[in-house]
Structure 1
Amino acid sequence: MPPRRRPQQSAPSSVEHHLHPSQFVDAFLSYLQAECGMSLNTVKAYKNDIEQFVTWMNNSHVGSVLDVDLNALSQFLQALHERNLKPTTISRRLVAIKMFFRYLVLEGVVAESTVDLMSSPKLWQYLPTVLSPEMVDRLLDAPSWEDSFPKRDRAILTVLYATGCRASEVAGMQLRDLRLEENYCRCLGKGNKERIVNLNPVARKALDDYLHKERPQLIRRRDADDLFVTRTGRGVTRIMIWHVVKKYAKRIGCSDKISPHTLRHSFATHMLAGGAEIRALQEMLGHASIRTTQIYTQVEHSRLKSIHTKCHPRG
């Protein structure tokens, strides 16, 4: 007969007083990076989410991981809602907590994870910002001779839109990963998963101009393996790419909410509108779950609904 599971809602014993979540955080973060293969940026995000949960537990006098039941979790989610956080932010916090408690189950700290009984907040209310194809064209054409490195900046913008890559993935691209004559490039995504991303003619021409007319000047003082480099020959960072997108979005009068991820969203939505299959799009974006990709079907449905309302004579 299997041993009885230890209930999480039992009165805390002297041993349970030592099961404060803070003592497991560092080991959990090491587990995410070493065994789950998560990137440093993802681990940092998990760290922030878990630390905020631990702070809430301290303020709410929940002293042990064994005391985290559905009632406590509901109170935590209510506290997040009261801060007017986005549904996606709340969902991410809940995912981090779920991963944390699954780790505690694996380590034998708790017998079962109550957190898995919680449902994530509905995400259908959140639709990512998407640029129209015409606005994307304006953004890609925004770099000019007045800018310090217009060819590099245009190449970055065209690669973001042509591939749907994240800013961190574009920043991490190496020169050896590029196969310009074959119209593709390798990139390293989340969890150190490598995938092939295709380049369209616009991106290929922009890259060719940058590689032959601008990059040689930027690397004259040092050897560089990075595809995109700064004025000193060092590889660009995802923050630099973020600033590049912000700069040119402002120039063409776009919302200040535009970011590198907006081009990723636009790529996915435009691909669906062009007839791409959802599974193929999942592979292009490097999504681990098809559920993440399916949000773009809602974006496309929202777009079509808007067109119907605007154009139908009885709309």
Structure 2
Amino acid sequence: MGRDEVLGAFGRYLRFERDLSPHTVRAYLTDVSSLLDHLNRPVEDLDVAVLREWLAGQHDAGKARATLARRAACARTFTAYCHRQGWLAEDPGLLLGSAKAPRDLPAVLDQEQAQEVMDSASGVEPKELRDRAILELLYATGVRVSELCGLDVDDVDRDRHVVRVMGKGRKERSVPFGLPALRALDRWCIHGRPLWARAGSGPALFLGVRGGRIDAGTVRRVVHAALAQVEGAPDMGPHGLRHSAATHLLEGGADLRSVQELLGHASLNSTQIYTHVSIERLRAAYKQAHPRA
């Protein structure tokens, strides 16, 4: 098969069978396009030596370790697909190893800073009501910014204090939230949202000033603005509130499996980084407080 035919077929597989996001599909196709350019021969000639040469070239070009790990993973997905299609007699990706990307500990708020962030959005104007509800819900649930933007009014179960979230891979989960988030949502839905809602607003829970569904960029600006008002708070986006929520849950005694379910992680390995965060904070507190530290 020709290069464009291979890319087209692989792209359809990623979109319709793997159900990956458009952003992820673009990233995969960019990496595979680079690999095929390096191969410069029919895909049937792809072997582990070519894969290693391609990655070595990326390394020599100064690509970060995390980038190399991601591209190796993409290559393995591609070769497995080609093998299933019958274009490769064997799957060379099975022989391809790669170093794991380093996992930096995420910046998180302490619990007092989190409270100050929530309190930074106060007032009775629609924007202030919306921003407070966004901050409260992000911190209460640890949902991703894309999940928050996709919420509809009916996704909030007020009686059970649960929000229904559509996560990665179109996997639905229910996430609980507390009274502060419920109160903020009620104030927004009763006193704020009706003033911004338009004929084209649809069921979106959070709206922009023109009445359309809120976008991720607006949510990021809301979070950055709130954090800027809290002295000593790290500068981070919505994902920082997700990190903080997970860390505070573990520090409060929640078990790792429960936090995994709340965050919508497919693997427990993704959740375990928050135990490292908690240990680092414990170590810092120990050094500061223990006379023999």
TM-score normalized by the length of structure 2 = 0.88
The corresponding residue for 2:21 is: 39
Is 1:103 matched up with 2:85?
no
Shift of 1:136: 1.6
Q: Is the 8 A contact 1:88 1:126 kept in 2?
A: no
Q: Secondary structure at the match of 2:120?
A: coil
Which amino acid is 2:93 matched to? V
**For each residue in 1:205-253, what CA deviation from the matched residue of structure 2 results, as whole angstroms up to 9, or x when unmatched?**
1111111111110115555300101122211112221222222223335
Report the counterpart of residue 183 of structure 2 in structure 1: 205
- C-alpha contact 2:141 2:175 (8 A) present in aligned 1: yes
Q: Quickly say closer, same or farther: Cα 1:68–1:220, change in 2 above 3 A.
A: closer
The residue number in structure 2 matching 1:163 is: 141
CA distance in 1, matches of 2:166, 2:245: 18
- Give the unaligned 5+ runs of structure 1: 1-17
The answer to whether the aligner puts 1:118 opposite 2:96 as a matched pair is yes
Compared with structure 1, are the counterparts of its residues 134 and 89 closer, same or farther at alpha carbon in structure 2 (3 Å cutoff)? farther
1:55 matched to 2:34? The reply is yes
1:252 maps to a residue whose letter is: V
Counterpart among 207, 218, 223 of residue 229 in structure 1: 207
Give the 3 Å change call, closer, same or farther, for CA 222–31 of structure 1 in structure 2.
closer
Secondary structure of the 2:277 match is helix
Matched to 1:24, the amino acid is: V
Distance 1:142 1:127, change over 3 A: same
State the match for 2:119 in structure 1.
141
Identity level (%): 34
Query: Aligned to 2:160, which of 182, 202, 207?
Result: 182
Deviation of residue 100 (structure 1)?
1.7
- Please give the alpha-carbon distance, in whole angstroms, between the structure 2 residues aligned to 1:80 and 1:113: 21
1:242-253 counterparts in 2 under 5 A? 242-252=220-230
User: Closer, same or farther in 2 for the Cα pair 1:81/1:307, shift >3 Å?
Assistant: farther
Q: Gaps (5+ residues) in structure 2?
A: none
Question: TM-score, normalization: structure 1?
Answer: 0.82
- Give how far 1:86 is off: 4.9
> Aligned AA for 2:18?
C
- Partner residue in 2 for 1:259: 237
Cα separation, 1, equivalents of 2:119 and 2:173: 28
Question: In structure 2, which of residues 10, 13, 22 is the aligned counterpart of residue 28 of structure 1?
Answer: 10
Structure 1 counterpart SS, 2:174 = strand
Q: 1:249 to 1:296 in 2, by over 3 A?
A: same
Distance of aligned partners of 1:70 and 1:184 in 2 relative to their CA distance in 1, 3 Å threshold: same
| Separation in 2, partners of 1:39, 1:284 | 21
CA root-mean-square deviation: 2.6
1:36 Cα deviation after fit: 2.0
**Contact kept in structure 2, 1:153 and 1:244, CA below 8 Å:** yes
Q: Structure 1 residue 30: deviation in Å?
A: 1.6
Letter in 1 for 2:31: Q
Q: Secondary structure at the match of 2:159?
A: helix
Q: Distance in 1 between the 2:111 and 2:205 partners?
A: 26
